[in-house]
Amino acid sequence: MLTIVEALQWIDDRLGTADRARHSTLVGHAMRSLAEIVGADALLWELTGLCHDLDFDAVAGDWSRHGIVTAEWLKDELPDDALLAIRSHDHRTGITCDRPICRALKLTDALAIVTDTLGPETSAVLQSRNAADQLATRFAARPYLVSLLVGNAEALGVPLTQLASILRHAPPSS
């Protein structure tokens, strides 16, 4: 199986120091934290998060291939569950998965995007009594992000306030 050092090298080789590389680092951190919360394999989940967007530039905007190309590159490096999570994290591929690792990747990917938009305010929003409503208002143009974040957090049994705690200890995503 891939190591963290090797995954970081893949990020450096495929994404460089672009915003997408920092996004992947945040998703990897959040995946490790979620795995620890739900009692899953923290190393595997972190690797899945780190690697999920390796093909971001390579697919050149053909989002129906996003994640699929990465899974092909890593087919001998990661277990099938991780590869399925990577292939299914973008709905535009048409691949679906409701396994915990898949839900976690969709959740953390959405969380990183929300964090890129709201910045440090993200934690306060997630800790508020009406977090889902605030997110729905702020992301009215992209309601799927709120659904991915809130729906998958609920399915995993992780309160939104716990996501705020994860962000407090995370590297910046952009």
Own/partner contacts of 45-49, CB < 8 Å, gap of 24 or more, are 45/101, 45/104, 46/4, 47/1, 47/2, 47/4, 47/7, 47/78, 47/82, 48/78, 48/82, 48/85, 48/86, 48/101, 48/105, 49/24, 49/105, 49/108
Question: From the centroid of its chain, how far is CA 53?
Answer: 9
Q: Are 50 and 7 in contact (CB under 8 A)?
A: yes
Is the per-residue pLDDT at 174 higher than 60? no
Pairwise CA distance, residues 8 & 160, whole Å? 28
Is the per-residue pLDDT at 96 higher than 60? yes
Picking from 95-99, 145-149, 165-169, which range would have the lowest pLDDT averaged per residue?
165-169
Tokens of 98: 């409701």
Is the per-residue pLDDT at 150 higher than 90? yes
What are the residue ranges spanned by the domains of the chain? 4-93+100-168
Model pTM?
Answer: 0.96
Closest CA to 4 of 42, 57, 55, 53: 42
What pLDDT does residue 171 have? 77
DSSP three-state, residue 159: coil
Classified by CATH at the fold level, domain 4-93+100-168 comes out as Hypothetical protein af1432 (1.10.3210)
What pLDDT does residue 170 have? 86
What pLDDT does residue 169 have? 86
pLDDT digits (tens, 9 = 90+) for 23-44: 999 999 999 999 999 999 999 9
Mean pLDDT, the chain, rounded, equals 96
Q: Are 31 and 48 in contact (CB under 8 A)?
A: yes
